[in-house]
Amino acid sequence: MPEISIVIPTHNRWSLLRRTLAGALAQEDVDHEVIVVDDGSGDETPARLAELEEPRLHVLRNPSAKGVANARNLGLENARGSWVAFLDDDDLWSPRKLRCQLDAPNAGDAAIVYTGAIMIDADLEIVDRQDAPEPEGMLDELLSRQAIPGGCSNLITRTELARQVGGFDTKLKVAEDWDMWMRLLLAGKGRAARCDEFHYGYYQHGVSSVLLNKDVIESDYERITAKFAEARRERGVEIDSVNISRWLAKNYRRAGDRRGAIRIYLRAAREHRDFGNVVRAAGVLVGEKAMRRLSPYQPEPMTPPAWLDLYRPGGRLESVAIGPDPA
């Protein structure tokens, strides 16, 4: 039985998966399996996966696309490890990520274990960083806002606990990870642990699932708000509507939808009397570059971790592919 199972859902993105999969297989000092769930891909993904002679790799396939939450749940059903990690097909891991998380203080009693994240662009340059927050009080933080750095590729959890809470909510398209993390912590009595280092690269690009599904972000948020209303009342937690509105608007901005971003900013400004969002709405009209330049928030500089070089051209984790690279 492997120590941990890695579940990677994918759909028509072999050009990204080939690098992500290389990093998953290269995890050091762990007994692990990698489960790729091909969610009805019509590109070269099925053929390329079939070429790989790797005993730790297991490929499952949906004949037609059923969505990322469904694909993750299929992987979870077939996971044999005591722990399970979810990895999106465009994100990158340090080779030490899983070992660091499994060895984190109090990991043995934790429902979730997470790490710090760096936001990276297409050139693997760091555009932002998100430090791993304190584990104490993480449940309340999550009930208030999505506080886990990056996205779904961050944390690990007990396989049986993930099954116990029912896996991912297939009615959600964008915020299914946030929803899952709250249910895991509610079931796990709020016990969380962290690995302080930056072992996770959250890849930001123009065809990310968040941007492709931007039109359902608000409905996801409304569903989650209602779904956990009782848990928030019991714990005396208020949802951070201002923070969430800015996150929603930022995704519209990244997708190039200025009108949608302005609408979110102005609605939040009116509902929460937040003048800062009025300024942001005006900034959207000026342009993205000017908005970033004038923003009071500037990412804290950091030296890129050495493991990023493994994924650069010529690095040993640049690709797991057999045969010529895709054009």
Q: Is residue 316 part of a domain?
A: no
Mean pLDDT lowest for which of 11-20, 123-132, 246-255? Answer: 246-255
Separation of alpha carbons 156 and 231, rounded Å: 23
Q: Is residue 225 part of a domain?
A: yes
Task: Say whether both 170 and 278 belong to one domain.
Answer: no
Determine the pLDDT at residue 327.
43
Q: Is residue 320 part of a domain?
A: no
Residues making up the chain, counted from first to last: 327
- Residue 133: CB atoms within 10 A of its CB come to 16
End-to-end CA distance of the chain: 39
- Considering the chain, what is the average pLDDT of its residues? 90
Determine the pLDDT at residue 210.
54
Task: Say whether both 149 and 282 belong to one domain.
Answer: no
More confident residue, 326 or 107: 107
Q: Is residue 251 part of a domain?
A: yes
The structure's pTM equals 0.90
Q: The domain containing residue 178 runs over which residues?
A: 4-205+303-311
Task: Say whether both 93 and 229 belong to one domain.
Answer: no
Determine the pLDDT at residue 326.
45
Q: Is residue 67 part of a domain?
A: yes
Average pLDDT over residues 258-278: 80
Average pLDDT over residues 70-84: 98
Separation of alpha carbons 190 and 192, rounded Å: 6
Q: Which structure tokens are listed for 142? A: 């999550």
Q: Are 168 and 75 in contact (CB under 8 A)?
A: no
Confidence check: pLDDT of 286 > 80: no
Pairing of strands 92-93, 192-203: antiparallel
Task: Say whether both 93 and 179 belong to one domain.
Answer: yes
Confidence check: pLDDT of 110 > 80: yes
Confidence check: pLDDT of 219 > 90: no
| Burial annotation 249-287 (CB, 10 A radius, 16+ → b, else e) | bebbbbbebeebbbbbbbbbbeeeebeebeebbebbeee
Task: Say whether both 197 and 277 belong to one domain.
Answer: no
Q: What is the CATH number of the domain that holds 71?
A: 3.90.550.10
pLDDT tens digit sequence for 130-162: 999 999 999 999 999 999 999 999 999 999 999
Q: Are 45 and 13 in contact (CB under 8 A)?
A: yes
Confidence check: pLDDT of 179 > 60: yes
Mean pLDDT lowest for which of 164-178, 254-268, 289-303? Answer: 289-303
Determine the pLDDT at residue 295.
66
Q: Is residue 25 part of a domain?
A: yes
Structural domain tally of the chain? Answer: 2
Determine the pLDDT at residue 226.
94
- What is each CA distance from 255 to 10, 69, 249, 260, in whole angstroms? 21, 22, 10, 10
Task: Say whether both 183 and 251 belong to one domain.
Answer: no
HSE-CB of 70 using CA atoms within 13 angstroms: 12
Task: Say whether both 110 and 147 belong to one domain.
Answer: yes
What's the CA angle centered on 178, arms 173 and 184, to 5 degrees? Answer: 120
Q: Which structure tokens are listed for 56? A: 């730790």
Average pLDDT over residues 158-178: 95
Task: Say whether both 61 and 201 belong to one domain.
Answer: yes
Task: Say whether both 9 and 149 belong to one domain.
Answer: yes
Task: Say whether both 131 and 273 belong to one domain.
Answer: no
Task: Say whether both 195 and 220 belong to one domain.
Answer: no
Q: Which residues touch 123 (CB under 8 Å, ≥6 apart)?
A: none
Average pLDDT over residues 106-123: 95
Q: Is residue 318 part of a domain?
A: no
Q: Is residue 69 part of a domain?
A: yes
Q: Which structure tokens are listed for 257? A: 């939808």
Q: Per residue, what are the HEC states of the chain?
A: CCCEEEEEEECCCHHHHHHHHHHHHCCCCCCEEEEEEEECCCCCHHHHHHHCCCCCEEEEEECCCCCHHHHHHHHHHHCCCCEEEECCCCCEECCCHHHHHHCCCCHHHCCEEEEEEEEECCCCCEEEEECCCCCCCHHHHHHHCCCCCCCCCCCEEEHHHHHHCCCCCCCCCCCHHHHHHHHHHHHCCCCEEEEEEEEEEEECCCCCHHHHCHHHHHHHHHHHHHHCHHHHHHHCCCCCHHHHHHHHHHHHHHCCCHHHHHHHHHHHHHHHCCHHHHHHHHHHHHCHHHHHHHCCCCCCCCCCCHHHHHHCCCCCCCCCCCCCCCC
Task: Say whether both 77 and 162 belong to one domain.
Answer: yes
Q: Are 113 and 297 in contact (CB under 8 A)?
A: no
